[in-house]
Amino acid sequence: MLKDKVAFVTGSTRGIGWAVARTFAQQGANLFLNGVSDQAHLDSCAGQIRSEFGVECSGFLADVCDPTSVKRCYTEIFKRYKRLDVLVNNAGILDDALLGMIPDAAINRTIQVNTVGPIYHLQEAARLMSRNKSGSIINISSIIGRVGNEGQAVYGASKAALIGLTLSAAKELAPKNIRVNAVAPGFIGTDMVKQLPPAKYDERVRSIKMGRVGEAQDVANAVLFLASDLSTYVTGQVLGVDGGMLI
């Protein structure tokens, strides 16, 4: 479904990003991965994908909210391929805290990583995609960005902003045949949610009508649909992947 396409997935060394990267590689895409802290792990992930799927794969060690580092990534993509077909804005952080007790540093970092970073990446990707008048950008939002949740005001605000970015960018970029959509996962069994206290974890599971925690692959499958030619007439949409979760 993505044979010979060029794709860039941010935050792609674990969790949802890693599942998306593997799914894209399985479908024939040449990949750029991204991590922020561990070059050796990033190189290991890229090597694993190359050996398992026989596609080209490289890694960028870069902070998504550092504009200089972001520009460097897209300069390298242009040098290598002269094009970009798919961007997945996946990198994100979660730092729960009740209102009145949220540290300034947590507010700033959450907004920077979850909202400002995707804006930087979307701008650079759009410039590159505009050269070929084709492309798909998928922003990974959250069910919290759609309906909110106690203790997650800043996270919810950052993910709601990502939905606003998606809707606006979709309108602006549609004439260039660049599609922009969002996926809003619910409770997915990644390292991020496994840090919850057991009582809170069980409470969240009980809120899921399908009766199970989602898997990263469930999200990756939805992202694949939006990245592929199966969705060439789909833009400006927010696709929930939440098992009927109620918050």
- pLDDT score of 194 more than 90: no
Residue type, 194: K
The answer to whether residue 115 is domain-embedded is yes
Task: Compute CA distances 55 → 47, 125, 203, whole Å.
Answer: 10, 21, 41
The answer to whether residue 218 is domain-embedded is yes
For 134-145, how does the pLDDT look when each residue is reduced to its tens digit (9 = 90+)? 999 999 999 999
**Tally of domains within the chain:** 1
The answer to whether residue 245 is domain-embedded is no
- pLDDT score of 119 more than 80: yes
- pLDDT score of 199 more than 90: no
Pair of tokens at residue 216: 């990263």
Q: What percent of the chain has pLDDT over 90?
A: 90
- pLDDT score of 241 more than 90: yes
Pair of tokens at residue 229: 């030619």
The answer to whether residue 10 is domain-embedded is yes
Q: What is the CATH number of the domain that holds 127?
A: 3.40.50.720
Please report the pLDDT score of residue 223 as a whole number.
Answer: 98
The answer to whether residue 240 is domain-embedded is no
Domain extent, residue 28, equals: 6-235
Give catalytic status of residue 233 as yes or no.
no
**Residue 107 or 198, more confident:** 107
Catalytic residue from among 74, 120, 155, 233:
155
Question: Is the dihedral angle over the CA atoms 37, 39, 45, 50 positive or is it negative?
Answer: positive
> Which strands, in side-by-side order, build the sheet including 135-140?
57-61, 30-35, 6-9, 86-89, 135-140, 178-185, 238-241
Is there a contact between 85 and 135 (Cβ–Cβ < 8 Å)?
A: yes
Task: Compute CA distances 89 → 57, 133, 153, whole Å.
Answer: 17, 20, 21
Rounded Cα distance between 110 and 108, Å, is 6
Is there a contact between 36 and 91 (Cβ–Cβ < 8 Å)?
A: yes
- pLDDT score of 201 more than 90: no
The answer to whether residue 1 is domain-embedded is no
Output phi, psi for 154, to 5 deg. -70, -45
pLDDT band at 190 (very low <50, low <70, confident <90, very high): confident
Nearest to 94 by CA among 34, 187, 146, 156: 156
Please report the pLDDT score of residue 231 as a whole number.
Answer: 98
The answer to whether residue 113 is domain-embedded is yes
Mean pLDDT computed over 87-112:
94
Please report the pLDDT score of residue 175 as a whole number.
Answer: 98
What does pLDDT average to over the chain?
95
**Residue 17 or 96, more confident:** 17
Q: Each residue of 178-201: b (16+ CB within 10 Å) or e?
A: bbbbbbbbbbbbbeebeeeeeeeb
pLDDT band at 117 (very low <50, low <70, confident <90, very high): very high
Please report the pLDDT score of residue 53 as a whole number.
Answer: 98
| Long-range pairs, 189-197, Cβ under 8 A, ≥24 | 189/213, 189/214, 189/215, 189/216, 190/14, 190/15, 190/16, 190/216, 191/14, 191/15, 192/15, 192/94
The answer to whether residue 246 is domain-embedded is no
pTM of the model: 0.95
For 56-66, how does the pLDDT look when each residue is reduced to its tens digit (9 = 90+)? 999 999 999 99
For 167-180, how does the pLDDT look when each residue is reduced to its tens digit (9 = 90+)? 999 999 999 999 99
Rounded Cα distance between 18 and 219, Å, is 11
